[in-house]
Structure 1
Amino acid sequence: MDHDVPDPAQAPPLAWGILGAGNIARRFATEIPAHTAATVVAVGSRSQERADDFAATFDIPVAHGDYESLVADERVQSVYIASPHSEHRDHALLALAAGKPVLVEKAFTRNAAEAREVFAAADAAGLFAMEAMWSRFLPHMAALDRVLRSGEIGQVVTLTAHHGQWLDVAPSHRLKNPDLAGGAVLDLGVYPISFAHQVLGSPETVTAVGHLAETGVDATEAVVLTYPGVVASLTTTMLAGTRNDAVISGTAGRIEIAPTFFGSSTLTIHSTDGAVRTIEPPASAGFAYQAAETARCIEAGLTQSPVLPWEETLAVMRTMDEVRRQLGVVLPGEGAAAS
């Protein structure tokens, strides 16, 4: 078998509360009940009307018009944080203070300093916390790890990964709004950066160039990460739809991941002798795998996932901090993007 990922439907049941009622919350509310043994028992929004509409759409029993009521709800066993990046720290701390484990949408927080606060609170409370970097848990990523560990492509020399979407939004939209921690790197760039960390670890150097949106957040960037004998080249933009593939090249061949490296994808391995083989992992309901991992970890009494431990999220945050520092992006309320 080319992948080794447990079936999400076999994970323990878990009663979720969703904090936030935006688009990504809608995907979570759709996929988790459909593909796992978990249920969504409550949703919380800043508006009772919006919470009611969301609950009615997804057949959720309870709608809360504020976040405090959601995290205090005794029916909720774990909280999925789906608010804008600017609020992740505060909302995660709110849930943890109420005794609830958290799955926090990526990017985990605005910067590494905020992420450390959340993990410190989880550690002190003995509660599970994890970044919702859903792609880390997909079957094709397990297949990739297996190929890399086998040595089939030899010593890795280069890695490239791209994520670009044409997002024609107004300056007030959260993607361009500095007050909501907008910008391409936190929303889109987190995928290729996290991918490079997954394959290669923390880089020795980070170099970033790019362009800013009219609101001062980053719109497009190219990032080069260096490691001993290895270079990773990553691009991100919210101004154009790019090829969202990735290629890992080594001394004995290369692995192409397409069409979308962070979604369910085919791996094509090209050997230097001309041989080509493909790995077709099963189609995956993306968000179900991270929710299943959360349920397994909570049942096992873990505070962090061995697949995506706290230090890994912190390392990715430190790299993104450095990218934003070099681009000159500082978000309101965070001060310097301390790492």
Structure 2
Amino acid sequence: MTLQALPHSRVPGSRDAPTLRWGIMGPGWIAERFTESIQAHTGQVIAAVGSRSVNRSKAFAEAYNVPAAYGSYEELAVAPDIDIVYVCTPHTGHHAAAVLAIDAGKHVLIEKPIGLNADQARDIAARAGAAGVFAAEAMWTFFLPKFDVIRQILEAGTLGSITTVVAEYGEHFDPSHRIFDPQLAGGPLLDLGTYPLALVTEVLGSPHKLHAIGQPHESGVNAQLSAVMQFDGGAQAVVNTHLHNFTPTAATIVGSKATLTIEGYFTMPGAFEVRFPDGTRLRYDEPAGGHFEGLHFEAAAVARAVAGGSTEASQRTLAASIGTLEAADEIRRQLGVVFPGESGVPGISARP
């Protein structure tokens, strides 16, 4: 029997969430978008900002009316006036920054990726567990209202048995962008590819077969990669990501009973459609938007979790973050991509 209507989002209003005092670790572009979003849409408080440059911290604090500015990550981590640290340093600094905060007894929300590799993610999870503090990856997409509806559709079995997931994300960058810097773990995988890869592993779990192909960039980073995966039960997935130019950034989840297509950007607020073999189409509509319209949902969800005594976010568990990085590690192992500080990439036990 064809579904007659889609479920409604269960995501509460962001302004109703309990208030936490946030410390920003790394005042860059995403920190600006995060601050703008939560100041506009929530009651959360940005209480402090920390940077390796006190001048950068002070400039950020002045621009966003933040009361405290620190000239090091260490100072921010031990600051008494914050409850939680939002880690948004460059990728190569996520693990060390998170450890600083956790060791200081602070809760942490860590920008994606939670670490450079699965070992770093496991270490963060273990340290947070031992300290009894909240820790989560800021994979903001999974906190959006539309993904709560998608989650309900999947849990209800509306699509039937999932057979295929296809997702892609390509974008154009100025040559000066850090994505072209090998010393900053550049290349599209951690910046863009983490979104389609996370969607695949959220829906299907860990692959037991994975085959990746890549294309190098003259800067020394990976320019493009594609991966084909197979999962227990026979389901397959295909992902592509690159830094050449913009793509639709769409995603499709195919099941035995229906197909769910998420319009681009699938990572952001927007619409999706469920199509059944008899021609019935059910559409979920919400205004398309960017980071300003969407980042506040993850902040509010984290505040609710912390206030409720949870040490993880149900929308993006630490196990899920580790699983995505395990797949990313295997992709890099096959392509020979090693990030700063790594002696090698172990990868998952993919069977040929």
**Which TM-score band (shorter chain)?**
over 0.9
What residue is the counterpart of 2:269 in the other structure? 264
Aligned pair 1:319/2:327, yes or no?
yes
| Whole-angstrom CA distance in 2 between matches of 1:140 and 1:314 | 23
Aligned pair 1:200/2:204, yes or no?
yes
Aligned pair 1:236/2:244, yes or no?
no
Aligned pair 1:34/2:34, yes or no?
no
Does the aligned pair in 2 maintain the 1:168–1:239 contact within 8 Å? no
Does the aligned pair in 2 maintain the 1:245–1:260 contact within 8 Å? yes
Does the aligned pair in 1 maintain the 2:19–2:303 contact within 8 Å? yes
| Amino acid in structure 1 at the alignment position of 2:230 | T
SS of corresponding position for 1:242? coil
SS of corresponding position for 1:92? helix
| Whole-angstrom CA distance in 1 between matches of 2:79 and 2:182 | 32
| Whole-angstrom CA distance in 2 between matches of 1:106 and 1:332 | 17
| Amino acid in structure 1 at the alignment position of 2:143 | F
What residue is the counterpart of 2:118 in the other structure? 112
What residue is the counterpart of 2:54 in the other structure? 48
Aligned pair 1:274/2:279, yes or no?
yes
What residue is the counterpart of 1:161 in the other structure? 167
Q: What is the aligned residue count?
A: 337
| Whole-angstrom CA distance in 2 between matches of 1:93 and 1:87 | 10
Does the aligned pair in 2 maintain the 1:111–1:338 contact within 8 Å? no
SS of corresponding position for 2:178? coil
Residue 178 of structure 2 is aligned with which of 161, 174, 177?
174
| Whole-angstrom CA distance in 2 between matches of 1:183 and 1:126 | 34
Identity %: 39
| Amino acid in structure 2 at the alignment position of 1:335 | S
| Whole-angstrom CA distance in 2 between matches of 1:148 and 1:98 | 39
Residue 106 of structure 2 is aligned with which of 73, 97, 100?
100
Does the aligned pair in 1 maintain the 2:162–2:256 contact within 8 Å? yes
What residue is the counterpart of 1:123 in the other structure? 129
Superposed CA RMSD? 1.5
Aligned pair 1:292/2:296, yes or no?
no
Could you tell which deviates more after superposition, 292-301 or 280-289? 280-289
TM-score by length of 1: 0.95
Structure 1 stretches of 5 or more lacking a match?
none
| Whole-angstrom CA distance in 1 between matches of 2:100 and 2:127 | 10
Does the aligned pair in 2 maintain the 1:2–1:281 contact within 8 Å? no
TM-score by length of 2: 0.92
Does the aligned pair in 2 maintain the 1:143–1:281 contact within 8 Å? no
Aligned-pair distance for 1:209? 0.6
| Amino acid in structure 2 at the alignment position of 1:97 | D
What residue is the counterpart of 2:71 in the other structure? 65
What residue is the counterpart of 1:309 in the other structure? 317
Deviations 1:128-179 (A, max 9, x none): 1100000011111111122223333322221111111011323xx4212122
What residue is the counterpart of 2:156 in the other structure? 150
| Amino acid in structure 1 at the alignment position of 2:21 | A
| Whole-angstrom CA distance in 2 between matches of 1:231 and 1:304 | 29
Aligned-pair distance for 1:282? 6.1
Residue 223 of structure 2 is aligned with which of 219, 222, 238?
219
| Whole-angstrom CA distance in 1 between matches of 2:266 and 2:108 | 26
Does the aligned pair in 2 maintain the 1:92–1:118 contact within 8 Å? yes
| Whole-angstrom CA distance in 2 between matches of 1:152 and 1:141 | 15
SS of corresponding position for 2:39? helix
Deviations 1:86-128 (A, max 9, x none): 0111000011111111000001111111111111111111111
| Amino acid in structure 2 at the alignment position of 1:325 | R
| Amino acid in structure 2 at the alignment position of 1:126 | G
| Whole-angstrom CA distance in 1 between matches of 2:44 and 2:125 | 24
| Whole-angstrom CA distance in 1 between matches of 2:16 and 2:271 | 24
What residue is the counterpart of 2:26 in the other structure? 20
Deviations 1:227-272 (A, max 9, x none): 1221111110111111101111222221111121111121111110
| Whole-angstrom CA distance in 2 between matches of 1:68 and 1:208 | 39
Could you tell which deviates more after superposition, 103-112 or 66-75? 66-75
What residue is the counterpart of 2:251 in the other structure? 246
Aligned-pair distance for 1:183? 1.5
Aligned pair 1:185/2:189, yes or no?
yes
Aligned pair 1:335/2:339, yes or no?
no
Aligned-pair distance for 1:283? 6.1
